[in-house]
Amino acid sequence: MNQDVFSLKGKLALVTGGGTGIGLGISKALINAGATVVITGRREHVLQDAITELGKDNHYRVSDITEKDKLPILVAEIEKNVGPIDILVNNAGIHHKAMAQDTTDEDFERIIQTNVLSVFSLTRECAKYMLKRKQGSIIMIGSMAGLFGIDKVVAYGTSKTAITGIVNSLVTEYSKNNVRVNAIAPGWIESNMFLNAINNDPERKQQITNRIAMDHFGKPEDIGNTAVFLSSEAARYITGVVLPVDGGATVNF
């Protein structure tokens, strides 16, 4: 088998929220496959630390994706000064944990604003260039909460379900120009924030571990390697997929 089909050499990827957690894991995997990465986030010191880890040939831009009026400027600047964006990974997002009856309209709107509206705005802006070039890979980051019901995350779960709708719709419009749109739905992936949260909630931890078919949590690089595959020529005929990377959680009883 020709392993070059998995190479991202010469490709430029934009990864939102790429400075920590899953976003950093995705960035590392893309770089290991040969891509150059531009990471974004709100905190410059976090991005600077990440670039030290990722390597000086990569780039960062301070960006809050909820400031939608600034996204066209961000994309145009990267296209001009770094290069054509071949891969977009919409990783940035926020979470809200509360029972439905304790979730306010403001809570719900804040989640939708970040996880849905801003994701669409940035995707549309990057696609403007990709469609002209007739190539590109757009990857959304979904969630288990978008595939089955989970208590205490009604706003977050709704936002991730909406991502599937965006994927489906964009496939019908972008595919003729060879711009592919897919989503990765991470299961429970190890991070300091996640481990601290479940270690402080033994009942929730047991509930999660019972759900996973395999005997361990995932790691950020598991999501990263999936992003590499979906961005590569190996996946050139794959579009419209929501791919769980979850240790079997979506099908386990």
Asked, for residue 83, whether it belongs to a domain, the answer is yes
CA–CA distance, 3 with 8 (Å, rounded to integer): 11
Asked, for residue 150, whether it belongs to a domain, the answer is yes
The H-or-E segment that residue 174 falls in is helix 154-174
Q: What's the whole-model pTM score?
A: 0.96
Which residues, 6+ apart, have CB-to-CB distance to 250 below 8 Å? 144, 147, 148, 185, 187, 244
CA–CA distance, 250 with 253 (Å, rounded to integer): 9
Asked, for residue 253, whether it belongs to a domain, the answer is no
Asked, for residue 250, whether it belongs to a domain, the answer is no
Structurally, how many domains does the chain consist of? 1
Asked, for residue 21, whether it belongs to a domain, the answer is yes
Asked, for residue 235, whether it belongs to a domain, the answer is yes
CA–CA distance, 156 with 120 (Å, rounded to integer): 16
Predicted confidence pLDDT, tens digits, the chain (253 residues) = 567 999 999 999 999 999 999 999 999 999 999 999 999 999 999 999 999 999 989 999 999 999 999 999 999 999 999 999 999 999 999 999 999 999 999 999 999 999 999 999 999 999 999 999 999 999 999 999 999 999 999 999 999 999 999 999 999 999 999 999 999 999 999 987 788 878 888 998 999 999 999 999 999 999 999 999 999 999 999 999 999 999 999 999 8
Which amino acid is located at 192 in the chain?
Answer: N
In the beta sheet, which residues pair with residue 13?
37, 87
| CATH at residue 230 | 3.40.50.720
Q: What separation in angstroms does the CA of 61 have from each of 14, 49, 81, 131, 197? A: 10, 13, 12, 23, 29
Asked, for residue 240, whether it belongs to a domain, the answer is yes
Q: Which domain holds residue 83?
A: 3-245
Which residues are known catalytic residues? Answer: 156
Asked, for residue 251, whether it belongs to a domain, the answer is no
